[in-house]
Structure formats: structure tokens, C-alpha cells
A and B are shown apart, each in its own frame.
Chain A
């Protein structure tokens, strides 16, 4: 089986080829960051047009990199949602049309299932079952992953996602919105121990839900009252990052203790945060469990994770009919089915 994976849910065009025998054969990514930079955010119409321009050449590049031809592809997986509808439609149309032309099965994948399974692309991959912490700008959730398509939501954010709290606090610190979370982490590195301390929300009561809205408000009030010099801003950034990381670690520890899972997988954009990685590594050593992260390039959007999720589902005999499907909204609770 050689599966072509296509990801076009937002502002990255991702294409990859995954082989049953040889693993990941090719992975190509085009990022639109420069295209959207003058607008301070992603402009959906520009994103769709750029996907149209880049997708076919990227598929050719991936085939070349894998030393395959189109006729070697045996199945196609694409991100069917959630995301920007115009952008999703580009991937869906290309995937379905190519599948029809080549007479091979295609399957629509939930973007977050891709992120959840990304660590399985690594040489040191977790086996089922495992606990997954999904942590990004749109989601913060703990899931029990029993097998492909068998996910149980154990807890999630009742208000803001962790990545959203990072981005909004970065904005309050004057760091801008796009990539604000990563900028905050860089600023935090310059900070030292200080008098600033933020709450660890919802850690004092049972359960695995998260809440980051109050933390954002607390940061807003602290920033407004504090001096504006670089040192103080860095100290605040550090205290804030510590509060978010601590909260995530406390909930992971609780989830591991209550489920007796031996493996923890961390996925989504915030899983690239170095401080989070180090803290979870430390926790895993204390608890005698293993922790798995995708390589940094697979923490953000990419085609490889979609190719892999598609490979697992197509191998299980699943595929969709010829309808071109894309869903802008697709709740986490409906993650178990393919499109």
C-alpha cells in the first residue's frame, strides 16, 4: 500500500506518501506564512487560491522524492475537516478527482485524528492503548486511545484552549497574534524567578477538564499593573508559561494515575513547547511511564499525519464514496468515525 496524504485545512499545504512496507517515503510542505503576514492573520480566500497553486506541484515533488509514479499510489487520504471551508474544498476536490481518475479508494480524515496519530510516524512509536494530550490553539483535551477510531474523551477545556491562552497573553505582552505563543516561550526564556505567580486553574478539584480563561484574565491584570520594561515582561512570560505547563502536567499525571495507562502521547502545536516537553519527561520518569512526542515539524500541520491516519483506516477496509466532502466544523466528540 502506498498512501498519498493531503492536508489543506488552514495555511499549510502538506503532501506526503506513506508506504506500508517502508514507512514515510516523502513529505512536502508549503507554508503561506509570508503570504498572510501583511494582513496579520490568515485570509481564507488567499489561502484557498494558494492551495490551488501549490497542491499539484507538491504532489509531483512528493512522488519524485519517493521515486514513485502516480500509478504506484494505492489510496488517498485528505483532511475533510475541521478548518477553513474553501481551503478544505481544494484538498477534497483534488483527492477525490485523483482517486476517481486512478480508480483507487479515498478517505476523508479528521484533522485532529491526524495530530493524535502523528507520534506513530516515529521510529520509537507508542503501541495501543495510550493516553493522548492534544494541546493546540483550538483544543486542549485528554483522550484515551484504545485503537484507530476508538477514542474516548476524558476531559477538555471548558473555555479557552491552552494555545489560545498563550496567543492572547502574547498579544497582551505586545508580541502580536500570529505565532504569539512561540514568541511568548522565547520571551519566557529570558525571564527569571520573580514575584509573579499565576493560578493553576481547576487543579484543586477532581476531574480532567481544563480552564484557561481565568488565567488569561489574571495575566491581563498583572500585565496592566506591572512596569513595561523588558525584564518584567520576560518574568511575566516565564511565570505564565510555568502556570500553563504545570496545569497540563498535573492533569496528565492525574489521567495516568486514574487510567493506569503506561504511555502518554503529546500532540498539537503546543507540544513543540520545550518547557512542556521537559516537564512531561520528568513526570514520566517519576511515574515509570513512557512519553512520546512527534518531531517538531509534525507538531504543526503536515501531510504525513494525514497519510498515516488514512493508511490505517484504508487498511482496515474503510473508504468513502465519491462525494466530495468537507466540514468546516467537526466536533471532537465525533472523532471516532472517518468522514
Chain B
């Protein structure tokens, strides 16, 4: 796999990913702080024609984008108790036909369904490497 040298290249990578994703689709985003998880989601949204700001959902924990294709962006960084997801109405989000990104999915303590894709972003001195694996269980 080739190295992604900068945020623009990450956006181009996300645009390629957008071409092959259709709802319903659950994507886990993994990687350290500053790896580029939100940058990937921003690139994905731009590829679908969204021009507005794509804010970090760290504080609100979830941002929703009502495009022809609905996109839901979770960030569980601040989550300390998986029960909080129940309070947020997590189950309601997962009944919709949407493409759902989840940053820091490991903090959900097994409450989340199995993802269709898992993107692991590794930080390297020369840029980023994204490893994608499919893990849907049928």
C-alpha cells in the first residue's frame, strides 16, 4: 500500500473510498490522536458534494449530514461509559440507511454492531498508511 503524504492526499483517498461505499455501511476509524480520522471523513463528505464545515465531533460525540446519502459521524473519544451511547439513542442511528463512521470504536465496549469496514490509520514519519479490512459477519 502506498503512503499518503499529506491531508490533500488523504482527501483523495477518501474520495476513492466514497465511490465504493453504499448505505447501509458501518465504518470504524482507528488511529492515534492527529492520525487524520476526521480528515478522512471530511474528504469523504467533500466527494459527496458537501461544502460546509466538517467539525470534530469530539465534544458533541455525533454529527449528522443530511445529503442525498445520509452520513453520520461518531467520535467516542470522550466516552467513559458505553451506557452513554444508549442515552444518546445509538440504536436509533443504526436503524437508518446511512453511512456511519465511528472514531474510537473500541471505547463502546462491544455495544456497536460489527463494522463492514475497518480503517486503521498508521502515523509514519513520511505520512500516513491506511489499512482497510472487511469484517462483516454473515
Give the A interface residue count (CB, 8 A). Answer: 37
Q: Does A217 contact B (CB under 8 A)?
A: yes
Q: Interface digits, A135-160 against B, CB 8 Å rule (1 contact, 0 not)?
A: 00111000000000000000011111
Q: Does A208 contact B (CB under 8 A)?
A: no
Residue of B with least CB distance to A85:
B87
CB–CB A159/B55 < 8 A: yes
Contact size range, B: 20 to 34
CB–CB A213/B56 < 8 A: yes
| Known A45-B81, A213-B38: A220·B33 in contact at CB below 8 Å | yes
Report the bound CA distance from A328 to B62 in whole Å: 11
Report the bound CA distance from A157 to B79 in whole Å: 22
List CB contacts (< 8 Å) of A258-294 with chain B: none
Residues of chain A with a CB closer than 8 A to B50's CB: none
Residues of chain A with a CB closer than 8 A to B87's CB: 44-45, 84-86
CB–CB A158/B53 < 8 A: yes
Q: Does B34 contact A (CB under 8 A)?
A: yes
Report the bound CA distance from A177 to B109 in whole Å: 19
Report the bound CA distance from A279 to B16 in whole Å: 45
- Contacting residue for A159 out of B56, B79, B81, CB 8 A: B56
Q: Interface digits, A162-178 against B, CB 8 Å rule (1 contact, 0 not)?
A: 00100010011000010
CB–CB A160/B56 < 8 A: yes
- Contacting residue for B80 out of A42, A139, A160, A171, CB 8 A: A42
| Known A44-B87, A85-B87, A138-B59: A216·B33 in contact at CB below 8 Å | yes
Residues of chain B with a CB closer than 8 A to A329's CB: 60
Residues of chain B with a CB closer than 8 A to A84's CB: 84, 87
Pairs A–B under 8 Å by Cβ, sample size 26: A39-B80, A39-B81, A41-B79, A42-B80, A43-B81, A44-B81, A44-B83, A45-B83, A82-B60, A85-B88, A158-B55, A159-B54, A159-B56, A160-B56, A160-B58, A161-B59, A168-B33, A168-B34, A171-B33, A177-B78, A213-B38, A213-B39, A216-B33, A217-B36, A220-B32, A220-B123
Interface residues in chain A, defined as those with a beta carbon under 8 Å from any beta carbon in chain B: 36, 39-45, 82, 84-86, 137-139, 156-161, 164, 168, 171-172, 177, 209, 213-214, 216-217, 219-221, 224, 328-329
Known: A44-B81, A164-B58, A217-B36. 19 other contacts (CB 8 A): A36-B80, A39-B81, A43-B81, A84-B87, A85-B87, A137-B59, A139-B59, A156-B53, A158-B53, A158-B55, A159-B38, A159-B55, A161-B56, A164-B59, A171-B33, A172-B33, A216-B33, A220-B33, A220-B123
